[in-house]
Amino acid sequence: MPRPSAMAERRQAPPRASARAVLAALAAGPDDDVVSLGSMMEGLGGSLFGMLLFIATLPAFLPIPGVAGALSGPLVMLVGLQLLVLMRRPWLPRMVARRGPRRSTLARFSQRISPWLARLERLVRPRMTGLIDHPAATFFTGLLLVLLGLLLALPIPFTNYVFGVLLLGYALALLERDGALMLLAWAAGLAAIAVFGAAGGTLGALAVDWIMPGH
């Protein structure tokens, strides 16, 4: 028979919302409704940083060259910066929180990606949670997200989907508190930074060109 304390802990444990369930809930409703980023974050269970990163990654899959990365990259960098400074809850500027996609866009994206998310969700589970909860691990995750968000925002051809899939791995690791998946995401993130940073010149030079064109 389970101990009373164990039963109490089980009752108090917050439910984890799967990425597919969140996406389906956001897509439900009139097609023309705009779902603001602020409203997406209200009342969500599980890891709010994981939820925000998942939402921030969605524009990377829009088939609009140059625009998708410009939308998603800064949002990913914002999540990374907040993890870098070890914030307990995510924060969105009011101007950003008021904006968001239409439900019809979310519905199309949900139909496209849900089968892949279903496969991934069978594999992920809470494990090696120290790689999610430890401050040093959180700092390192934030640093990688800042760099990956910067690369995503830069006009590097044919990389939006690559970075989008990689960032979904980070989001799922945070959502499910899966340290093993986070280890894989760290390795893939470092590889992507090395490959794509070198392919387009140094990361610092790309950043300067993006921030101060024609300097």
Is pLDDT larger for residue 98 or for residue 130?
Answer: 130
Residue with tokens 């239409």: 102
Q: Give the range with max mean pLDDT: 68-82, 133-147, 191-205.
A: 133-147
Asked if the model's pLDDT at residue 46 lies above 60, the reply is no
Residue 203 vs residues 15, 21, 81, 160, 169: alpha-carbon distances, Å: 39, 36, 17, 17, 22
Query: If you average pLDDT over residues 132-151, what whole number do you get?
Result: 93
Round the average pLDDT of the chain to a whole number and report it.
76
C-alpha to C-alpha distance for 145 and 181, rounded to whole angstroms: 15
Sign for the pseudo-dihedral over CA of 157, 160, 161, 162: positive
Query: If you average pLDDT over residues 135-140, what whole number do you get?
Result: 94
Domain boundaries, the chain: 11-211
Asked if the model's pLDDT at residue 151 lies above 80, the reply is yes
Q: Give the range with max mean pLDDT: 31-40, 42-51, 156-165.
A: 156-165
pTM of the model: 0.72
C-alpha to C-alpha distance for 190 and 147, rounded to whole angstroms: 9
pLDDT recorded at residue 95: 73
Give per-residue pLDDT as tens, 153-191: 887 777 788 888 899 899 989 988 899 999 999 999 999
Q: Give the range with max mean pLDDT: 15-24, 102-111, 132-141, 152-161.
A: 132-141
DSSP string, the chain: ---HHHHHHHHHSPPPPPHHHHHHHHH-S-TT-B--HHHHHTT--S-HHHHHHHHHHGGGGSS-TTHHHHHHHHHHHHHHHHHHTT-SS----HHHHT---BHHHHHHHHHHHHHHHHHHHHH--SB-THHHHSHHHHHHHHHHHHHHHHHHHS--TT-HHHHHHHHHHHHHHHHHTBHHHHHHHHHHHHHHHHHHHHHTB-HHHHHHHHHSTT-
Identify the band that residue 143 occupies on the pLDDT scale cut at 50, 70 and 90.
very high
